[in-house]
Structure formats: C-alpha cells, structure tokens
Structure 1
Amino acid sequence: MPSLDAIIAVALAGLALSATPGPSMLYVLSRTVGQSRAAGLASALGLCLGGIFLAIATAMGLAAIFENSGWLVTILRYIGSAYLIWLGVDMIRGAKTDAPVTLNVEQVQQKPLSSIIWQGVIVEVLNPKTVLFFALFLPPFINPGNMQTGEVSVAMQLLVLGALVPLTAIPSDLVVAYMGGTMTRVINQERAMRERMAWAGGLMLIGIAFNLHLQIL
C-alpha cells in the first residue's frame, strides 16, 4: 500500500485539477444542459470508469517495467515532478487569460444512458493527454523502498494512487451534473473566482512537486 502522505498528495492534486473548469467538466455540463441531469451523471460515471480502467492499465504496465528496470523509478520521479510543476505553472499562467473566456455548452445528440456511459469511458481512455497524465503523474509518489518486495507491491501502490485520480473528480462532476445551467452562469459570471481557483490549484501542484523531494510536510 502507498504511504498516507502519497495518498493525501495525490488526492489533493486530483481535487485541484478537477475543481477547475476543463474538458471533462464541460463534457458533463454539455450532457446535463443538452439532455438531462441523468445524462450528466451518466457521463460523469463513464469518465470515472474510464479513469479507473487507465489506472489498472497503468499499474500493470509500469509495475512490469519497474520490475525489470528499477532505476526508472528514480528517473520518472524527477520527470513526474517536473510534469507537476509544468501543470501548475500552466494553470497559473492561463488563470488571467482563461478567466474572461465564456463557457459555451454545445448542443448534444440525445442518447440512452448506457450509450452515454460507454461514450464517457471511450473519451477518457482514448484521450492521449489523460494517458500521459497517468504515466507521468503516478511514478513520483511510488516508494522505491518497496521495490524489494516485488511487482505486487509496486502494482498495488500504482493501482491505489491511480484510482484516486478519477475518484477525486466525482465531487466536482456531481456538482456540475446537478446544477447544470446554474453552474454555467456561475462559472461565466464569477470570473475572479475562476482566476483565484486556478492560482490556488497551480500553487498546490507546484507545492506537492517540491514537497516530494524536500519533504517539507
């Protein structure tokens, strides 16, 4: 099992990323406003299932690689930390420019809930940015000391931490699905709040990246 510090850090990073308006939030919002609240919840469920599938695939793939090339853990730890810093800086840099942008919900084709769930799974699994995120985001939180216990321990760490990423997105997706059009108006009107949220999320990601190596907290 991963350490409590790693679990808390991954959960906070996941919350920071999911709480800011992005493609996934807009996808759920489009389904809610364009079809129904149930459709929005179905799309959120599909995204979550897709994320869990990626977490399982990442755990199996990276664990096998680490088993044969343990030195990769150290290298990916630094690459992953740099990736977290890049995400945080990018979030802060876009805070002021993205805040004034008006979110427009596109018209969607009416579909049964089962199709919407599968569509959400496919959208998440086939998104190359999401795949890259899992591959670079998880390794920094793996404890290299557990490499001696074998592949199962590494796989378990990757699986638990990877599952936290889609699970931490559930609260924000539920809020979006339930509030629907109200959420759209809030996001578009409260632009200062959007900017502050982006700054807070970006600084949190940067802080987590530095704490991985400095062990401040």
Structure 2
Amino acid sequence: MPPFDSILAVLLAGFFLSATPGPSMLYILSHSVGQSRGAGLASAFGLAIGGVLLAMATAMGLAQLFERFPAIIVVLRYVGSAYLAWLGISMILTVRKAAKTQLSVEQVQRKPISTIVWQGVIVELLNPKTVLFFALFLPPFIQAGHGTDVQSQLLVLGILVPLTAIPSDVVIAFLGGTLAKSINERQLLRTGMACVGGLTLIAIAFNLHFGFL
C-alpha cells in the first residue's frame, strides 16, 4: 500500500489535471449536449474504465521492469518529477491563451449507450499520451526498498488517477451546455484554476525531488 502522502499527492494532481478543459472534457460534453445526459455519463464511464485498465497494464509492466532493473526506479523518479513540474509550468505559461479558448461542442451521431461506453474505453486505451503520462507520472510516488511491494503501489496509485476525473466528468455530463457557457464566460476563474493547479503540480514535483515533507 502506498504511503498516505503519495496517495494525497496523486489525488491532488489528478484532480487539477482532470478539471482543466481538454479533449476528455470535450468528448463528454459533445455526447451530453449532442445526445443526452445519459450519453455523457456513458462516455465518462467508458473513459474511466479505459483509464483503469490502462493504469493496471502500465503498472504491471513497470513493476516487471523495476524488478529486473531496480536502478530505473531512481531514474524515473527524477524524470517523473521533472515531467510533473513541466506540466505545472505549461499550465501557467499557457493560462492566458487557454482562458480565451472557447469550449465548442461538435455534433455527434446518436448511438446506443453500450456503444458509447465501449467507444470511451477504446479511445482511452489507444491514447498514446495517456500511456506516456502513466509511465512518467507514477514512478516518482513509489517507495522502493526492502519489504515494499512496488506492484501494489503502482496499481493503487495508477487506478486513483482515472478515478479522480470521475467527479468533474459527472458534472460535465449533467450540466452539459450550461457548464460550457459558464466556463466560456468566466475567463478569470479559468485563469485562477490553471494557476493554482500549475503551482500545485510544481509544489508536488519539488517535494518529490527534495523531500520537504
């Protein structure tokens, strides 16, 4: 089981990353507005399942790699913390441009709920950026050493990542166009959230690297 501080850091990082407007948010929004709230929830559910499966596969693969080459844990710890800091810096540097970006909903073809769920699973599983994210995001939070189960830590932390997106995804699915309009009209709020999220990610990265807490 991962230590509490690692769980808390993953929850915070995952929350701010999922709350930032991006492809997943637009994917859910399109189904919610273009078809129904049920379709939006189905797409969010599919993305969550795909994220959990991808997290499990990545975690088990990394665990085997760490078992054969223990030194990689140290290397990926530094690379991963640098990656997390880069994500935070990118959020802050692009905050003004992102705040001015208008969320637009594309027309979608009406599909059965079961089809939407499986489509969400496939979309998430085939996303190479998500694979890279898990491979670089998880290792810094792993506590390696005698008596520790690296694989269980990777599995728990990996599954937490897609689960942190569920609250914001459900809100997007239920509120749909109303939420999109509200987000588009409140650029200052989007700017503030991006800055807080970016600074939080940078703080987590620095703590991972230097061990302040």
Smaller-chain TM-score bracket: over 0.9
Amino acid at match of 2:183: I
TM-score where L is the length of structure 1 = 0.96
Question: Cα distance, 1:10 vs. partner?
Answer: 0.3
Identify which of 143, 149, 162 aligns with 2:158. 162
Q: Unaligned regions of 5+ residues in structure 2, if any?
A: none
> Structure 2 CA distance, aligned partners of 1:86 and 1:125?
24
Aligned counterparts, 1:106-117, within 5 A: 106-117=106-117
TM-score, reference length from structure 2: 0.98
1:116-131, aligned counterparts within 5 Å? Answer: 116-131=116-131
Counterpart of 1:214 in structure 2 is: 210
Tell me the CA shift for residue 102 of structure 1. 1.1
1:204 pairs with 181, 200, 203, which one?
200
Q: What is the CA RMSD across the aligned residues, in angstroms?
A: 0.9
In structure 1, what is the Cα distance between the partners aligned to 2:27 and 2:196? 23
Structure 1: distance between partners of 2:79 and 2:211: 17
Matched, 1:56 2:59: no
For residues 67 and 143 of structure 1, the distance between their equivalents in structure 2, rounded to whole angstroms, comes to: 14
Deviation of 1:216 after TM superposition, in Å, equals 2.3
What amino acid maps onto 2:92 in structure 1?
A: I
Instruction: Report the identity percentage.
Output: 64
Q: What do the CA deviations read for 1:87-143 (whole angstroms, capped 9, x no partner)?
A: 001111110011111111000010000000011011111011000000000000000
Q: Please show how residues 136-147 of structure 1 align to structure 2 within 5 Å.
A: 136-145=136-145
Q: Which runs of 5+ in 1 are unaligned?
A: none
> Are 2:182 and 1:172 aligned?
no
Match in the other structure for 2:32: 32
* Whole-angstrom CA distance in 2 between matches of 1:196 and 1:106: 27
Structure 2 partner of 1:186: 182
Q: For residue 97 of structure 2, what is the amino acid of its counterpart?
A: T
| Secondary structure class of the residue paired with 1:144 | coil
Q: Specify the code of the residue in structure 1 equivalent to 2:48.
A: C
Aligned residues: 213
- Residue 97 of structure 1 corresponds to 97
SS in 2 for 1:99: helix
- Runs of 4+ with >6 A deviation: none
Structure-1 separation of matches of 2:22 and 2:108: 18
Residue 198 of structure 1: how far off its partner (Å): 0.7
